[in-house]
Structure formats: structure tokens, C-alpha cells
Structure 1
Amino acid sequence: MNGYNQSPFANIPPVVKNLLIINIICFIPVLMFDKGPAGPNPISDNFGLFYFNSPNFKVWQIITYMFVHGGFAHIFFNMFALFSFGPIVEYSMGSKKFFNFYFICGIGAILFQMLIQAYEVHAITGAFTIDHPKLDESYLAFGQEQGSKLYGIYHSSIVGASGAIFGLLIAFGMLFPNMELMIMFIPVPIKAKYIIPVYVVVELFLGFQQFAGDSVAHFAHIGGAILGFIMVKIWRLQRPNNFY
């Protein structure tokens, strides 16, 4: 077989390839068993991540939440980013270091999100933990708006690889700052060192703004980005000399 007929997946390094495969496989039971907002959602409820004081929290969720996605668009954009940026970063770091990097960013992302949730719980209740109300209406003791926020923290799971993906994007931007990227709806290429910080700023804005109906864990994205930046600095990662 000549080079022109080679599969576009042939040169994907092992960690990225296996992450793509595992995420796609894990999405199948979500499609089969989770029913969305109407529920029940046995996959998301058992393997998505809940606040540490939630009755639904299980320790394994710190890892498994990265492999559960909430819909086709969610998994498509995360896997597209992993497929687009992951190989070059894995080749630069080496597979073992990339594996560690990906999971450190993913775990750090959710711990950062949980820290923000703890702050929000404390702001509402004066404590970081509460007794678990047996009835949904019990949260209304804190008022309609605050009670709804508290209920969401305790009864909504966080899913997706976005925290790890944001760490990956930061690593790519730091290792290859002058690489030009084509962005949807923007007709000209933009260097990574300009566009990736914009993504982070947007996530920071959305996290603080908290628009109604926005269920995205923006601070998990920020946490992944922070961990990605720290790891690149600590490991003193640099662009390989043979890259052009």
C-alpha cells in the first residue's frame, strides 16, 4: 500500500489512540441507558462526578467522569481536539509523560471545580458540607435562587474530558506558540499563542458570569488549563528541535 492510501489514523501515537477508542466505547452505554434531562441516567449518575459531600459521590468518579459525555456534540468536540492536538503533544513529551499529563490535568480540573463548588456551598450555608435533605423541597429553605444552586451542586454530575483537553491545549500553545490554526468562522489563520489564551479568558468569563441554563463546568476547564501550564513549567517541556 502506498503512502497516498494510508489511513489518517495510522500515525496516531498509542496514548491518544487508546483514549479515543476508550471514550467512544464508553459513550455507547450512555446512548443506550441514559435518558437525558427526563432521566433516569444510570451511567452519568454512577460514573459522572458529584460534589464530594453529595450522597451520589463515589471515589472512582474522579477518574471515570473523564470518559462519560453528555451528547454527540460534547464527545465530538472533545475527541476532535484530542485527535487534532494530542498526537503532536504526545510525540513531543513521549507517551508515558503524556499519559501522566493527561490524567493529572483531568483530575486537577475536577478538583478545582470541586473547590469552587465548596466555596459556593459555604457562601450559601456557612459550611462546606450539609446534611442531605430527603426531599428536594428542603433546599428551598435557603431561598429559591440559592436553593436551586445548592440542589444543582448536590444532584448534578459533571462529565467529559474537557478539563484534560484544556490542559492539552495549553501545552500545545506553550510548545508550539507560533503554529497557525484555522478557527471556525474566522477566515484567516491565527497563531496558537493568541487564540488559546482567548479560549481560557472566555471560560473564565463564563464561569464567573453563570448565565441561566448554562450547565458547563467552566471552572473545570480553567483548572485543567492551570494544571497544564504548571506541568509544562515543572517538567521544563520544550518544542523538539527536529520539528519544523
Structure 2
Amino acid sequence: MSSFQDLKFKYRRLDIFGKIIVINAIIFILSFVLSALLKWNIAKYFVLPSDFMDVLMQPWSLITYGFFHSGFWHIVFNMLLLFYLARVATNIFRPKMVLNVYFMGILFGGLSYLIVANVIPTDFFRARGVLLGSSAGVSALLMFVAVYMPDTQIRLFNAFNVKWKHIAVVFVTYDIFRLLLGLNQGGYIAHLGGYLLGYLYASNLLKGKDIGAGFERLMDTFVGWFKPKSKLKTVHRRKGKSGYTGKTKKEFETFNKQKKIDMILDKISKSGYDSLTTEEKEFLFKAGQD
């Protein structure tokens, strides 16, 4: 097997967030090489401009700005935090739901940046310029995890444990402090937009409402445009009196599995992640890999 095929095989085995991290790294390297060797700034076509009229000319930048980074430490920090947050969240929630939080955070952060840049006087927050980086999406995931499972811990430097809610407090305080100091204000406004989205998503989910359901359907429709159409005919089964009549064994197992996941998530919302038994934690971990 050639080295390229080996890399391709390893990429396919990554989960969705592993692939997002790889894509971010490839874009960063490609952008750097093209800029250094050919003086071609491809990022300008994908980063988010501060002017509404410029955004109308490249509306895709409301999402694509999250795949471009300004420097080495910028991308390393964001991808490292994304790795840990995604691992925690996908152990409990559907990967698609975690993706909703991430990309809605990027979208919400971008819109917050645009609103401040175009509504509040320019010299107040100095939000003019362009926005780039996945920080708003990472911020949304951080707040989502901190609100939904505040007492869940991460082990830092293999030395001590820290709760995600305390990490979130530190990050939000730091961003507000830097915003008021006038440092990279446009970027920190996007962070705050991401925090707000993460809070709204988690607090509504605790009440049983998934505010990302519509966004997920929209993304599924968009992705469906690029999938090859199947030539197989759809066969509709006639439903009987029972709600399970006509369902395949796989559909019935999926239904039962989702019911069990819902019961465990309800337990987490009431008593916290640490209240789960070892078997329940293992079940959630395996469910998150599907």
C-alpha cells in the first residue's frame, strides 16, 4: 500500500471531528504555501468581511471563515480544544448534534461580528477588517458542555482535574477582559456570539428542545444535493394497528436504542454525568461512535 493510500485509509477511519481538524490543518498549510511562494492570498475569498455588502458577494464566508486561521498557535490552540470538547460531547450526544453546535456557533459568531461592525460605531469596538478562525465554534462547544454537564471534568497535564464549567468561566472572563482592553475586538465579539449560542443550545436541550433540528435538516438537504441518486425503488410497507407492525428488526432496535439514550441523558440532566453507572457510560460511549 502506498503512503498516499495509507493516509487516505487513516483519514477515512477518523470520526467527523477528526476529519474537520485534518481539513483545517491542510487548508492552513496550503494557504501558507500559496501565500509564501506565489503571493496568492486565497484566504480573502473565504474569510468573513466586516461590511454587509461584501458579505452578500461571498455569503459562503459566514461558514468558511471558520476553516482559516491567522497563525500557527491560533490553529493549534483551536484544534486542540476542539479535539477535547468533541471527544467529551460525542460520547454522550449524536455526532450530528455536536456538529450543529459547532457550525451554528461559527454562524452565530460571524453574525455577531457583522452586527457589531455595522451597527455600533466603528471606533467603539474596532471590529472592521475580516474575521477568520474556528474560535466561535469552539466557544459554542465549550459553553454547551459547561452548561449541559457542568461537573464533567478534564484531566490537565496528567496532574489534576478541572471541571468544564470552571474552564468556561475562565475563558469568558478572559475574552471580556481582552475585549474591553481593545485587543482583537472583532474576534472576541465572535467568541461571545459562540458562547451565547452554546448556552442557548444547552439550556433548551435540558428542557427537551433541540434548537438545532431545523439547521440539521437544512444541512442534510444541502449535502443531499451532492449525493448520487439511487435508482432503487422505494417500497412502502403498510402499517398495522400496532405502532411496531411492519418495522424491520433493525428499525425496532434503533428505536429501543434511542429510548435508552434519552433515558440516560435525562438522568444526566437531573443528577450529572457522574451519577451514571459504568454500563451506562460504556453504552453512551459506544452509541457516540455509531
Q: TM-score, normalised by structure 2?
A: 0.61
After the TM superposition, which residues 77-96 of structure 1 pair with which residues of structure 2 at under 5 Å, given as runs? 77-96=77-96
Does residue 196 in structure 1 map to residue 168 in structure 2? yes
Per the alignment, in what secondary structure is the counterpart of residue 160 of structure 1? coil
Does residue 97 in structure 1 map to residue 67 in structure 2? no
CA 1:80–1:74 in 2, change beyond 3 Å: closer, same or farther? Answer: same
The letter for the 2-side match of 1:231 is Y
* Alignment partners' CA distance in 2, 1:55 and 1:104: 21
* Alignment partners' CA distance in 2, 1:92 and 1:201: 27
Structure (1/2) with the larger helix percentage? 2
Aligned counterpart, 1:33? 34
After the TM superposition, which residues 1-244 of structure 1 pair with which residues of structure 2 at under 5 Å, given as runs? 14-34=15-35, 42-53=41-52, 55=54, 58-120=58-120, 123=121, 146=123, 149=126, 153=128, 156-181=129-154, 188-211=160-183, 214=184, 217-236=187-206, 238=265, 239=268, 241=276, 242-243=280-281
* Ranges in structure 1 where 5+ consecutive residues have no aligned partner: 1-8, 125-145
CA 1:54–1:44 in 2, change beyond 3 Å: closer, same or farther? Answer: farther
* Alignment partners' CA distance in 2, 1:91 and 1:180: 14
CA contact (8 A) 1:16 1:90 kept: no
* Alignment partners' CA distance in 2, 1:158 and 1:30: 16
Displacement of 1:194 in angstroms is 1.9
Deviates more, 1:193-202 or 1:160-169: 193-202
CA contact (8 A) 2:147 2:203 kept: no
Per the alignment, in what secondary structure is the counterpart of residue 194 of structure 1? helix
RMSD: 3.2
Displacement of 1:169 in angstroms is 0.8
Count matched residues.
Answer: 202
**For 1:118-138, what per-residue CA distance to the aligned partner results, in whole angstroms no more than 9, with x for missing partners?**
233xx25xxxxxxxxxxxxxx
CA contact (8 A) 1:48 1:61 kept: yes
CA contact (8 A) 2:178 2:185 kept: no
Q: TM-score, normalised by structure 1?
A: 0.71
Displacement of 1:14 in angstroms is 2.2
CA 1:55–1:103 in 2, change beyond 3 Å: closer, same or farther? Answer: closer
Aligned counterpart, 1:140? none
Per the alignment, in what secondary structure is the counterpart of residue 49 of structure 2? coil
Displacement of 1:91 in angstroms is 2.5
* Ranges in structure 2 where 5+ consecutive residues have no aligned partner: 1-9, 209-264, 283-290
Aligned counterpart, 1:134? none
Displacement of 1:40 in angstroms is 5.7
CA contact (8 A) 1:47 1:64 kept: yes
Displacement of 1:77 in angstroms is 0.4
* Alignment partners' CA distance in 2, 1:210 and 1:181: 31
**For 1:185-239, what per-residue CA distance to the aligned partner results, in whole angstroms no more than 9, with x for missing partners?**
xx7543222231121122122223314xx46610100100100110112222754
